[in-house]
Copies of this chain bind each other. A is one copy, B any other.
Amino acid sequence: MTFVNYSASIAQSKGRAPIRAEDTAALRGLRLFDGIAEATFADLIAAGYLQFFPPGVTLIRERDPADFLHVVIEGTVELYAGSGGRETTMEFIRPVGAFILAAVLSDQIYLQSARTLTRARILMIPAERVRHWMAQDAGFMRMIVAELARGYRQAIKALKNQKLRTGAERLANWLITQSALQGTPGYVDLDIEKRVLAARLGMTPENLSRALASLAIHGVHSRGALIEIKDPAALAGFAKPDPLVDAPE
């Protein structure tokens, strides 16, 4: 994994990565752009950059001033943060999700860094434009309020998850949620590395291995990236899933 910082060069080169007409229609369908004025949408898009990034690219770094609103159109982005030499994964952003709105809106520095885990298509809109249109277009501001509220509640859930559960419980609940999201009741197909999942769940890779092994008595068996859930009821009995912690916002 190479850590080349592409974002700096993109921010400079204004003319690059124009948005093609065929993409515009797809973008119009995003929840964040629902019900906003046509003029607002047109200007945001005109000012934005839509671009592919290879895996492992650092898109933003905590402590930097928020210069762009990023929207993931395709691929997976990892939000992570560090302090005092340690590092942890905060969240994964998948299509279609924005990050990190709060810093952009209040013109502050980022609290989290972001890197691509896969090849990813990212829409980047200059922060100043977002703030400008938020003030102009009430419909856009309504969408922003909804998105912010969603992000806030997600963060609260993550904090509850971390403070109220053991590692094995977090893993068990993650498996339940994930198998539901993927629509595959009997198993979960990992599309991220286990070391990244471990960081997301707040544990070391070694401990994730052991936690996974410990779930065998509840019918969980893993073969590589495929994790089989033989008895969902038994797993739920151990995990005690709680919508106020686990349900995605």
Q: What residues on B are CB-neighbors of A157 within 8 Å?
A: 111
A132-177 interface (Cβ within 8 A of B):
134-135, 138, 141-142, 144-146, 148-153, 155-160, 162-165, 169
Known: A155-B156, A158-B159. A83 touches B145 (CB 8 A): no
Across-interface contacts of A105 in B (CB, < 8 A): 145-146, 149
**Contact pick for A159, options B84, B144, B155, CB 8 Å:** B155
Which chain A residues numbered 46 to 103 have a C-beta less than 8 Å away from chain B?
A: 62-63, 81-84, 86-88, 90, 101-103
A106 within 8 A of B: yes
A151-B152, A156-B90 known; A165+B102 contact, CB < 8 A: no
Range for the number of chain A residues in contact with chain B: 35 or more
A112 within 8 A of B: yes
Whether the pair B106, A165 counts as a contact (CB closer than 8 A) is no
Q: In the complex the two chains form, is A244's CB within 8 Å of B149's CB?
A: no
In the complex the two chains form, is B164's CB within 8 Å of A83's CB? yes
Q: Which A residues from 23 to 65 make CB contacts under 8 A with B?
A: 62-63
| In the bound complex, CA of A103 to CA of B101 (Å) | 18
A–B complex contacts, Cβ < 8 Å, 13 sampled: A81-B244, A83-B244, A84-B164, A84-B242, A90-B156, A90-B160, A105-B149, A109-B244, A111-B156, A138-B141, A141-B142, A144-B145, A145-B148
